[in-house]
Amino acid sequence: MAAIAAAAAAFTTLRISKPTVFPRRRFCTLVTSSLSSEFNITFAPPKPKSIAQLPITPATDLDPPESSSSEFGEQLLIPWIVRDENGNLTFQTTPPERYLRAMAEAKTQRKKKKVSAGNAKKGEQAMPSTVPPKYSKAARRFYNERFREPPQRLAKVLAAAGVASRRSSEELIFQGKVTVNGSVCTTPQTKVDPGQDVIYVNGRRLAKKLPPKVYLALNKPKGYICSTGEKETKSVVSLFDDYMMSWNKRYAGLPKPRLFTVGRLDVATTGLIIVTNDGEFAQKISHPSSNLSKEYIATIDGEVNKKHLLAISEGTVIEGTHCTPDVVEQLPQQPDSKRPRLRIAVHEGRNHEVRELVKNAGLQIHALKRVRIGGFRLPSDLTLGKHMELSAANLRALGWKS
């Protein structure tokens, strides 16, 4: 033991030129110098294995101070390497002053317990869940409170449910054939909610769910009228019989919509027409205030010259209003037909406007076809009598932003 103590005393002084991570040792005394980054560190006699692991340099002339276990006891000292005001590295046996001040001023808070919406007590705020429930009562309640449509007028609800048109629904209400929550209602403006109120029409319960909005584009053939009357045998709506028969396969559990046309084309006119069950959409598109341009291709019987084109472009008076077309242009002659064709674009939307313009110029129309409404053009591959569902981009082209 005496030999080991003598060897340890000869190698207890270390010279350090850069910051070094020191292993923990007991009974250590630090002698620091504020003018240099060199330190004299003395240790109590450690174990022999630990001495072999230390990077040791020859001892200096400074004698290490005496230390004993009675002075330090069993305390473990951890050196702090800090930088002084001059930028030099120094050792301290206590933490830096700024560290102690930051620890003293730090505010500690207790972690809040996550409270679910179902177990939230009074005064506790429920934490939103990352994945909302899909079919739970809480999810349905959340949807009903924030996203359910507000109550609507009774006549509008009946028309949206497919009972009848808006005017026919008002007549049913005036006749006392509609009951709301067990009471006869004779006011079409009564606000109702189909999901909450019990509505009967002619003794039949109205479905709680309204049909979804449907937007279709049809290539109308000749001989069909734009009317939803039941007495009409060749109505445009009758072209959607197959579509309505397959409704339950595509939209199981939802009531069938009542389709009607947006605007009208006369019985002899073919081409693009929009069919929907959205009354607000139909009013927006068909009203003259929308200023939607509508393009027609008119096939003319006889010859067409510049005088005819000028007469059409000057316009004519229709229903007390002078209407002028936006574009009048003669198209190249087709190889399979000798009749001239005119491209006419209007925005007024008056009844028989294109036919009146051509008639006023002294010409006779052989065939008339509408090919464009707004920014939506009739697809070339959509044959007569066929329809297609309108996408969101198609609706925006028609000027519908909802």
| CA 217 centroid distance within chain | 25
Report the alpha-carbon distance of residue 128 to residue 106 in Å, rounded.
29
Report the alpha-carbon distance of residue 366 to residue 339 in Å, rounded.
9
Q: Which of 307, 289, 273 is nearest to 388 (CA)?
A: 273
Q: Which of 58, 54, 52, 96 is nearest to 78 (CA)?
A: 96
**Cβ pair 239, 385 in contact under 8 A:** yes
Q: Which of 228, 231, 173 is nearest to 202 (CA)?
A: 173
Return the active site residues: 266
Coil vs helix vs strand at 25: coil
Name residues whose C-beta falls within 8 Å of residue 91's C-beta, 6 or more positions apart in sequence: 30, 32, 39, 41, 79, 80, 81
**Cβ pair 366, 268 in contact under 8 A:** no
Coil vs helix vs strand at 116: coil
Strand stretches in 209-356, DSSP E:
215-220, 260-262, 270-276, 294-301, 316-318, 321-323, 327-331, 341-346
Element (H, E) at 150: none
**Cβ pair 382, 350 in contact under 8 A:** no
Q: How far is CA 162 from CA 27, 102, 367, in A?
A: 94, 72, 34
Name residues whose C-beta falls within 8 Å of residue 313's C-beta, 6 or more positions apart in sequence: 324, 325, 328
Report the alpha-carbon distance of residue 99 to residue 152 in Å, rounded.
66
**Cβ pair 132, 139 in contact under 8 A:** yes
